[in-house]
């Protein structure tokens, strides 16, 4: 039950109607790792950080049982930094600053002990970098999950289409599904994308939940209506961490279990958005997680008779 | 198990990327009545039509077992007519023509035999007209369901707030929920609206499904991802007809049964949008309905263990 995570470990600085943060711990691999760690999975991160990355944050990730030997530290460089501002409706945001820094020339190196991981979670990164990781695996993972975004469709579509041929699960949002497929409807989009390589597609729709597609099957997962969304940053990565972590833990890739994995991912993401950055994930107790999983179960449960 | 339906019986003329219709049978009460008739409910319509309303359409509604004695025919007048064009993404539309005609001075008269109906479905109409119907009931219906839209919030908010005090269930879309409540989030919107009179709120979100709120309870109902949406006209009314018809048939107003009613409404609406106007509802067989109810059941079903 091993999960290899590839993605950014970064600084985020966020403004939302609920406040403004300093530079805080962020990055796709961070959220994925913290979410997966809640499930007690044996996980490791492949990433890169600069000399400015605080020992406190490094220790935090390590304290959660995440193996960090795959994180390269470039002492002379600076850690990837993103700053953004969310609008009052929380559905749109402006990027204020993107400093790639050490990420610019990132050459991922998978530690020997992680080259036969059961599940590989390729967090949102340049598709060429995602491909480099795949190529280093000595055993094809049982499940390769890839997260990506419109930026890579705009700028490196050929690379993206190439890596898609080698993954099992793709996670994107609805606009990205439309862009990638050239189809408007979600069902038509899914059918097109499932011909590009992935056998499974997850379309993330924020407060509207998500759709899980596999050939001939579909699952409509809910999102929990929340009192307040304070900071949506990391919601998609938390989802990816809960999803891939649950699969790595259970090692069951049936459609029934994929549905459960989606519910775990959605449940964890519902915590992330309630506070800034990784605060919710850091504090989350097992009891809170189980309680909310039950709420998710009730949310869509009905009997026809 | 009687259902009284109040709403328009009208002509629609629709353009969508899938084609263009002539003036065809439409109107809120029409869709509501056709949907409810599929459930074998004893139903009647209160509405108004002009001398131009075709006997063919009148006979069609009658042949479905809908009592039409409450439909006033003004021979010298013309039937309400609406024409609209849907854009390629189907999520926005332009109204091309709205001719109120006989609807302009509509004074609803509830036939004696319908004044003690079990369930009252107040389709989208001027709130003052909806109130006139409520005032004619000799027995307070067990369930009063009201559908409305942003137009009435813009122009007759005082009337709308007045009638809301007397209804059990309100059905609106998410933008309307925001407008009526002054809150952005759906949970906060629902809490505010449930203080205005309705004990139950249904927020319709089209392809994203719907939310059913009752004090302290919430149900997240799915929508079926479809190959093609040909014409969304009447989807909300069909939902209202399936919902209120199911309640009238079962006479069970528990939250569990309200959830089932939402699923019936959603299932029927998924047929309506697949063809122009009322065509799908007219052709719908029991077998097709049962089959799709099963699909809805599978759509969100999962087990945590």
**How much is the ipTM here?**
0.92
Task: Report the residue from B186, B228, B297 with minimal CB separation from A225.
Answer: B186
Judge whether B289 is closer than 8 Å to chain A, CB to CB: no
Contacting residues of B for A220, CB less than 8 Å apart:
209, 222-223, 225, 299-300
Where chain B has pLDDT below 70, the residues are 91
Distance CA A46, CA A163 (A): 18
The predicted pLDDT at position B168 comes to 98
Which residue does chain A place closest to B290, by CA atoms? A304
Task: Report the residue from B185, B219, B220 with minimal CB separation from A226.
Answer: B185
Judge whether B205 is closer than 8 Å to chain A, CB to CB: yes
Which residue does chain B place closest to A292, by CA atoms? B304
Distance CA A115, CA A128 (A): 18
Helix (H, G, I), strand (E, B) or coil at A141: coil
Inter-residue long-range contacts of A277-280, CB under 8 Å, 24+ positions, other chains counted = A277/A12, A277/A14, A277/A21, A277/A24, A277/A25, A277/A26, A277/A231, A277/A233, A277/A234, A278/A24, A278/A25, A278/A26, A278/A30, A278/A31, A278/A34, A278/A234
For chain B, helix, strand, coil in percent to 5 are: 40, 25, 35
- Give strand pairing partners of A213: A201, A218
Judge whether B135 is closer than 8 Å to chain A, CB to CB: no
Residue B269 CB neighbours (<10 A): 29
Where chain A has pLDDT below 70, the residues are 91
Length of chain B: 305
Asked if B227 lies within 8 A of A299 by C-beta distance, the reply is: no
Does pTM top 0.90 for this prediction? yes
pLDDT tens per residue, range A23-62: 999 999 999 999 999 999 999 999 999 999 999 999 999 9
Contacting residues of B for A214, CB less than 8 Å apart:
none
Asked if A185 lies within 8 A of B304 by C-beta distance, the reply is: no
Question: Phi-psi category of B40—alpha, beta or left, where left has phi over 0 and alpha has psi -120 to 50?
Answer: left
pLDDT tens per residue, range B7-53: 999 999 999 999 999 999 999 999 999 999 999 999 999 999 999 99
Asked if B188 lies within 8 A of A227 by C-beta distance, the reply is: yes
The predicted pLDDT at position B251 comes to 97
Judge whether A202 is closer than 8 Å to chain B, CB to CB: no
> At B203, which helix (H) or strand (E)?
strand B200-204
The CA-based angle B119-B122-B126, given to 5 degrees, is 160
Asked if A219 lies within 8 A of B186 by C-beta distance, the reply is: no
The predicted pLDDT at position B147 comes to 98
Task: Report the residue from A205, A263, A303 with minimal CB separation from B208.
Answer: A205
Asked if A300 lies within 8 A of B225 by C-beta distance, the reply is: no
Asked if A205 lies within 8 A of B205 by C-beta distance, the reply is: no
The predicted pLDDT at position A258 comes to 98
The CA-based angle B123-B129-B132, given to 5 degrees, is 110
Asked if B187 lies within 8 A of A225 by C-beta distance, the reply is: yes
Question: Phi-psi category of B19—alpha, beta or left, where left has phi over 0 and alpha has psi -120 to 50?
Answer: left
Distance CA B264, CA B247 (A): 10
């Amino acid at each position: 039950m091993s999960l290899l995570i590839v993605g950014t470990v970064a600084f985020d600085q966020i403004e939302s109607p609920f406040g403004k943060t300093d530079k805080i711990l962020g990055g796709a691999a961070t959220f994925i790792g913290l979410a997966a760690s809640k499930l007690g999975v044996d996980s490791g991160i492949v990433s890169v950080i600069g000399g400015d990355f605080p020992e406190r944050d490094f220790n935090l990730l390590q304290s959660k049982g995440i193996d960090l030997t795959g994180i390269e530290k470039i002492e002379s460089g600076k850690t990837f930094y993103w700053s953004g501002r969310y609008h009052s409706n929380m559905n749109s945001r402006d990027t204020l600053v993107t400093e790639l820094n050490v990420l610019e020339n990132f050459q991922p190196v998978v530690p020997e002990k992680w080259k036969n991981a059961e599940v590989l979670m390729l967090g949102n990164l340049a598709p060429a970098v995602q491909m480099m990781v795949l190529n280093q695996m000595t055993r094809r993972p049982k499940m390769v999950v890839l997260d990506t975004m419109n930026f890579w469709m705009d700028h490196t579509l050929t690379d993206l289409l190439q890596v898609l041929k080698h993954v099992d699960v793709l996670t994107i949002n609805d606009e990205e599904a439309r862009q990638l497929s050239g189809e408007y409807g979600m069902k038509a989009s899914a059918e097109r994308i499932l011909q590009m390589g992935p056998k499974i597609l997850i379309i993330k729709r924020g407060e509207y939940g998500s759709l899980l597609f596999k050939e001939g099957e579909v699952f409509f997962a809910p999102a929990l209506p929340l009192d307040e969304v304070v900071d949506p940053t990391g919601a998609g990565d938390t989802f990816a961490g809960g999803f891939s972590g649950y699969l790595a833990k259970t090692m069951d890739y049936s459609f029934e279990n994929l549905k459960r994995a989606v519910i775990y991912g959605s449940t964890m993401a519902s915590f992330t958005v309630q506070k800034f950055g990784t605060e919710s994930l850091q504090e989350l107790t097992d009891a809170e997680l189980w309680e909310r999983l039950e709420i998710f179960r009730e949310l869509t449960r009905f009997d026809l008779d």
